[in-house]
C-alpha cells in the first residue's frame, strides 16, 4: 500500500488514468477516478486490518483482558 502512494508521483502514471486519457477522456476526470480506486484500495486494507485485529483479539486475550500465554509441553 505504501508503494502505491509512492508510485502516484509525476514519474509514474497509474493504469486507469493512462487508459482513460488514451481513450480520449478528460484528464481531470481520469485523475478523479484513479483517486477513487486508490482510496478504495486503502480503505479495504484498513478494514481488513481492523477485522483481523478484532478476530485475533479473542484468541490472544482472556475475558479479563489478560494475555493468554501458550503452555510449554514436554
pLDDT tens for each residue of 1-34: 556 655 555 445 577 788 888 889 898 998 898 8
- Quote the domain boundaries for residue 41: 2-60
Q: What is the pLDDT of residue 5?
A: 58
Alpha-carbon torsion (34, 35, 36, 38), positive or negative: positive
pTM attached to this predicted model: 0.62
Cell of 54: 478484532
Alpha-carbon torsion (23, 27, 28, 32), positive or negative: positive
b/e per residue 46-71 (b: at least 16 CB within 10 A): eeeeeeeeeeeeeeeeeeeeeeeeee
- Please indicate, yes or no, if residue 51 is contained in any of the structural domains: yes
- Based on the structure, what is the number of domains in the chain? 1
Amino acid at each position: 500500500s505504501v508503494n502505491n502512494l509512492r508510485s502516484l508521483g509525476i514519474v509514474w502514471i497509474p493504469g486507469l488514468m493512462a487508459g482513460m486519457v488514451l481513450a480520449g477522456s478528460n484528464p481531470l476526470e481520469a485523475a478523479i477516478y484513479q483517486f477513487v480506486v486508490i482510496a478504495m484500495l486503502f480503505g479495504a486494507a484498513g478494514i481488513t486490518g481492523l477485522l483481523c485485529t478484532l478476530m485475533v483479539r479473542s484468541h490472544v486475550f482472556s475475558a479479563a483482558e489478560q494475555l493468554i500465554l501458550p503452555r510449554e509441553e514436554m
